[in-house]
Amino acid sequence: MFSTVRHFVASIFFFGVLSAGCQTFNLQPTAEMAFKTSVDQFLTDYWKVHPEKAAAFGLQAFEGQLVIFDTEQKKRNLAFIRKYRSVFGGYKDGKLTPSQRIDRDLILNDLSREEWLLNVFQPWAWQPAYYNIGRNIGSLLQSDRSSFEEKMAKVAMILDQAPAYYAQAKKNITGATKAHLEFGIQQNRGVLAFLKKTVVPQVRSSRLSNKPQLFKKIAAASDGIKGYISFLEKTGATLADGSSFRDFRIGPKLYEEKFEYEVQSRFSAKEIYKRALSDRKKTHKKMSLLANQLWPKYFPNTPKKVFGLKDIQKLIGEISKKHSKPAEFIQDIRQQIPDLARFVREKNLLYLDPSKPLKVRETPEYLRGFAGASVDAPGPFDPDRETFYNVSPLDGMTKSQQQSWLREYNHYTLQILNIHEAIPGHYTQLVYDNKNPSLIKTVFHNGALVEGWAVYAERLMIEAGYGRNTPELEFMYWKWFLRVVTNTILDYEIHNMNLSKAKGLSYMVDQAFQEQEEAEKKWKRAMLSQVQLTYYYTGFTEIYSFRESLKSEQKESFSLKRFNEKLLNFGSAPVKTIQALWNEPRDPSQKR
């Protein structure tokens, strides 16, 4: 059990030796080495405070641990923050390599973010879905580095802690919002279903000798979850009587703070919001030009010269009729993945590692209810685990919901979804990320870089002529891009400007041409999250404008492939820090 930790420390040390060996900087090597030692110590302690994160990153020694979030735990977290703020605050720029400066800044930013979460934002007190053992058990069971017997031993540890974990959850939840409460109930019902439909049958058909004990543990954990669900239901009923739910809008002060800690952009939230407003206008113009080209093909009997939003909507409705059948949705996605890889190679856009296949599967039940599709990739310590492309199946939907969903993810937009989620989007970025020797940049990855890259990947493919430049695909691409732009506008206006649901839905349906079903889902997600919906557009804007400025500087010598690979090789650091490091050719973090 201990060997993983040792292996991990050894690998950090190995990187340390590597970079110390190339004495390319005229820096005090002692300060450089001291910094490495501090990072090792920091991570060792960090995993102890955040064992669930450690397990999510593939550190097996931490699997099976649940954090019971009581006052003692909070004290431990705060002490950890104080200790390492003073350690890393003591490293001044002149003593560190550029890459180490970034690592130091990422660590300090995360410590401040953690402290802000603990003292100010306190999601554990008003977001009931914070408590969910399905995530831990699910990721454990899908790892293929240990035998089923070993995995079940750790699952048993989680099950043992579950009653205390959920008892503490009841104490911690003091003022949920209505949306978060319902989400917490939904997810934990998913956990119950997962235990019953997935874990129990696996145990039953196994050769484990302790089956009766395991069934007992599953029953006890399920009772704990049921108790939590009924507590949430009672809380909901009480709050509904007094209509005293917490407001899901976090307000300008918390919003600006959250944006700063999470996005770490060179733009402020307000600047990004203003850019999004202007991009919405520009995109409408582009779409009306393409509509002019497409209209005669779809409406030959009603000629038109001027195209407003209603006409664009009508055209989208017609083009969206080309879509998968409900039962073939996942199969269609599965078939598209190799085409995307072939195109990326043909056009020389970037290197794809053929040894890391992507597996398309139905989203496990305990993860459903948030996004329609997502990539679930292994962490840096478990690089051999499979990467899954989770797609929520349509069988839980009514006929009309299915039709609405399939029109939204039609023949054209489904391809853009796959570019975003898989190749060369999230999946490709994560494969590069896992090879990056800077663990700090991987562990404290920047969400805006991750989402921004996936949005940039869509533009990259369209610009390279993916889909043989069919105007339909380009037209639908702009519709898709409008969604990213609209996400930013929605998120900003919801939390800062009291945007109403009616107006929010109208932004999505009338101005971004989304289906009602998709818009309702997005509204739900927008109520549950804050700032996260701006990652996409912010990261994209930063990457794209950076690329364009390099292009105009370097003219003919600019290489798109080199740019893409170099950007990904930095790992998931904030774009502004990547820019700051771009011209440091001998930065040790760039050695592969």
Nearer to Zn ion, 114 or 451 (CB): 451
What are phi and psi for residue 371, nearest 5 degrees?
-120, 150
With a CB cutoff of 8 Å and minimum separation 6, the contacts of 40 are 9, 12, 13, 16
Nearer to Zn ion, 8 or 389 (CB): 389
Residue 373 Cβ vs Zn ion, minimum distance, rounded to whole Å: 9
DSSP codes of every residue in 263-294? H--SS-HHHHHHHHHHHHHHHHHHHHHHHHHH
Residue 466 Cβ vs Zn ion, minimum distance, rounded to whole Å: 18
Answer positive or negative: Cα dihedral of 56, 62, 68, 74.
negative
Answer positive or negative: Cα dihedral of 166, 168, 174, 177.
negative
Residue 465: which region, alpha, beta or left (left: phi > 0; alpha: psi -120 to 50)? left
What are phi and psi for residue 243, nearest 5 degrees?
35, 50
Residue 535 Cβ vs Zn ion, minimum distance, rounded to whole Å: 8
Nearer to Zn ion, 257 or 421 (CB): 421
- Residue 347 is given by DSSP the state T
Report yes or no: 251 and 190 within 8 Å, Cβ to Cβ: no
Nearer to Zn ion, 330 or 422 (CB): 422
Residue 320 Cβ vs Zn ion, minimum distance, rounded to whole Å: 21
In the bound complex, which residue of the shown chain has the CB atom lying closest to Zn ion?
A: 454
Nearer to Zn ion, 158 or 454 (CB): 454
Residue 454 Cβ vs Zn ion, minimum distance, rounded to whole Å: 4
Residue 141 Cβ vs Zn ion, minimum distance, rounded to whole Å: 25
Nearer to Zn ion, 47 or 456 (CB): 456
Nearer to Zn ion, 330 or 417 (CB): 417
Count of alpha carbons within 13 angstroms of residue 203, beta-carbon side = 22
Nearer to Zn ion, 103 or 451 (CB): 451
Residue 450 Cβ vs Zn ion, minimum distance, rounded to whole Å: 7
Structure tokens at 114: 């953690």
What are phi and psi for residue 395, nearest 5 degrees?
-70, -20
Residue 362 Cβ vs Zn ion, minimum distance, rounded to whole Å: 19
Q: Which residues pair with 376 in a beta bridge?
A: 388
d(CA 329, CA 335): 10
DSSP codes of every residue in 43-102? HHHHHHH-HHHHHHTT-GGGTT-----SHHHHHHHHHHHHHHHHHHHT--GGGS-HHHHH
Which positions lie near Zn ion, rule CB under 5 A?
451, 454
